[in-house]
Amino acid sequence: MRMFGKALPLAAAYVLATVLMADCPVCAQAQTATAAQPAITVLASRSTGDETSAAPMSATYRQVQQRLAQGWNTWDVNSVTTQVLLPEGLAIHAGLKHNSTLGGSAFLENVLIGRRDPGAELVVPGPHSWDGSYTDLRITWKGHSWRIQTAQDGGDLVVLATPLPSQPISPMPPTLVFSADFLWNHPGTALKHTDFIETRGEQGSIPVYCTCAPTSDHPAMDYADIPAGGPYFSVDFTGPVGVSTGKRRTLAEITAIVERQRQAYQKPIAEKGDSGPIVDAIETTLGWDTIYEPDKHRVISPVSRLWCIGWGGYVLFDWDTFFAATLAGIGDRDLAYANALEILREETPAGFVPNYARPGGWKSFDRSEPPVGAITVLGLYRQYHDRWFLEDAFEPLLSWNRWWSEHRDRDGYLAWGSDGENLPGDLDDHANGTQLGAVLESGLDNSPMYDGAVYDPQTHTLEYADVGLMSMYIADCNALAEIADALKKPAAAKELRDRSSRYQAKLETMWNSEAGMFLNKDLHTGAFNQRLSPTNFYPLLAHAATPAQAKIMLEKHLLNPQEFWGEWVIPSIARNDPAFKDQNYWRGRIWGPMNYLVYLGLLNYDDAATRREFAQKSYSLFLKEWRENGHVHENYNADTGVGDDVKSSDRFYHWGALLGYVQYLEQNGTGKSPAAAR
């Protein structure tokens, strides 16, 4: 999403809880809508009460999830300094207490990347392997700076905490705290002994040791005045401290294990050559953004932990999660499959993948989001060639594909919409059945392209033919038809190609020779909309533009510094559009998914020079804050290349890594789209 294509639902509570949205105009609209609602009716249950559970898993996919949900990793959404052992749910938390002789003592129990509230911790994430075998991050809080590294030794975990040069606001040393308990109400006990913590879960006993612990020969008081619910170790944090499970290890042994796993992480990255930094960035990004979701017993990669906290534990957004699958495909096949299939398994009773899904079965029953599922699934199939994956994905993709033509067709065009009467409805989402809800379906929540677009309550759609939607849908039809071919489903393949041809013929009528571009059309007035966005280039993705049209589009618009070209590319609205100066969300800022989809379009045409420069510019934008701060931003300023200049740009939102992924494709591809139908 981002702003509110995902965030808007839950308007009242979420707007108040999410600082990321503080300077977003759609939030103000949401608050206004909320204020106009009647008194709240309190329900007897936190869940929808509707049978909307996902279809049963195939046996093969169940094995995928079982493989993923094993071992030590940063599974807990609430803190990146908590390590959890699956399937037991045993957790080891690393916290820090700031000590003061006055009233300034505080305890940092949970650590998250990207918090912006006053006094929040600053986290610079370091490497995080796919399987959690090595993680590394640096934290600064209340003047204290420290490093937390973790590594695995067989089935055991070791943690190394190291104080870094600091400028503390109190002369008293901080207290480092390691506590142990069981998460998600899993059965288990943790018992403190003098020199170790004894834990016992469903898989048996696991002892936890700390190099800071007193020995039975020299017992000492271990109490830190902290709100920890389980037994813990605490120590003045004046030097390195190590924790290990399974058996007692010295600090030197723990340090050696950490270094061994660090080298194991770095070796394959170094072997990638020029692509190494990109692989490192994507693996790290997905590593920190992947969690265990206990309600449905699954491993998933939500957009960021901060978004999940505000949504009650997790939130899966439609196209964001497909893009997470694409990113994971460079190194973790199981995680790629899990993300693609889990968002498909959230499909609503009406047959579409929702804009968002969150705990309790709540999801956007009124609206979907951009149809990028089939190109994602086809791309992964071409990479890994697992037929079972196509079989699991095909029926929900086909249902979703049919839904677009059945519910979003206006006079042969496709338009965004919102079916407010669909049940069960999200009671806190007051965009249902409104113009705002229809715009949110686009995923481009406050894009100036939709300023003034008229919502028709009878058809539940905008009176607005959308080039981007039609192009993505044609690409979806073509990719799904190729999947049907692979599965020997000729009738479905023909159905899909017929639909593709019908909408491509309609898209061709949206070519405006004077503008040299495919233009959106206001179906209320019949006029073309002259405002230009990257979505106007999406006919390249659908391979619907002729080579001559593509040449004009690139030369007249993409490479035009008055519109889209420049040091930082490409803005979400043309530079010469009055809304560009806003640099507010989709009003002018640069977004990874737009660059990715335009790049896939460029792969369909013979202009290798433009494609290479586009990929390099995208990568340069990504590297700017990645190298400086370890940030992977939700969006970036199109004038400065900075993502941290506004609050409405999450600092660790995985789809920002798509800006690096296009360079990965450029360096490792064949010059052809990994997702386009052949």
CATH of the domain at 191: 2.70.98
Alpha-helix runs per DSSP H in 487-580: 490-508, 547-553
108 domain-assigned: yes
3-state secondary structure 83-122: EEEECCCEEEEEEEEECCCCCCCEEECCCCCCCCCCCCCE
pLDDT score, position 226:
87
65 domain-assigned: no
Residues with Cβ within 8 Å of residue 271, at least 6 apart in sequence: none
Using alpha carbons, select from 502, 511, 571 the residue that is nearest to residue 540.
511
674 domain-assigned: no
Say whether both 34 and 98 belong to one domain.
no
Say whether both 530 and 446 belong to one domain.
yes
Compute CA distances 39 → 50, 156, 364, 423, 431, whole Å. 23, 53, 22, 20, 17
Say whether both 251 and 301 belong to one domain.
no
Q: Which of 249, 269, 289 is the last residue of a domain?
A: 269
Say whether both 227 and 369 belong to one domain.
no
Q: Which of 269, 284, 307 is the last residue of a domain?
A: 269
291 domain-assigned: no
Say whether both 254 and 384 belong to one domain.
no
Instruction: Write down the pTM of the prediction.
Output: 0.94
Structural domains counted in the chain: 2
Say whether both 358 and 436 belong to one domain.
yes
pLDDT score, position 669:
85
Say whether both 244 and 346 belong to one domain.
no
Give the residue numbers spanning the domain of 572.
11-40+297-668
pLDDT score, position 446:
97
pLDDT score, position 36:
47
User: In the beta sheet, which residues pair with residue 158?
Assistant: 151, 244
Q: Which of 269, 286, 316 is the last residue of a domain?
A: 269
pLDDT score, position 40:
61
47 domain-assigned: no
Residues with Cβ within 8 Å of residue 340, at least 6 apart in sequence: 321, 322, 325, 373, 376, 377, 380, 389, 393
Task: Tell me which residues of the chain have a pLDDT lower than 70.
Answer: 1-41, 49-54, 215-222
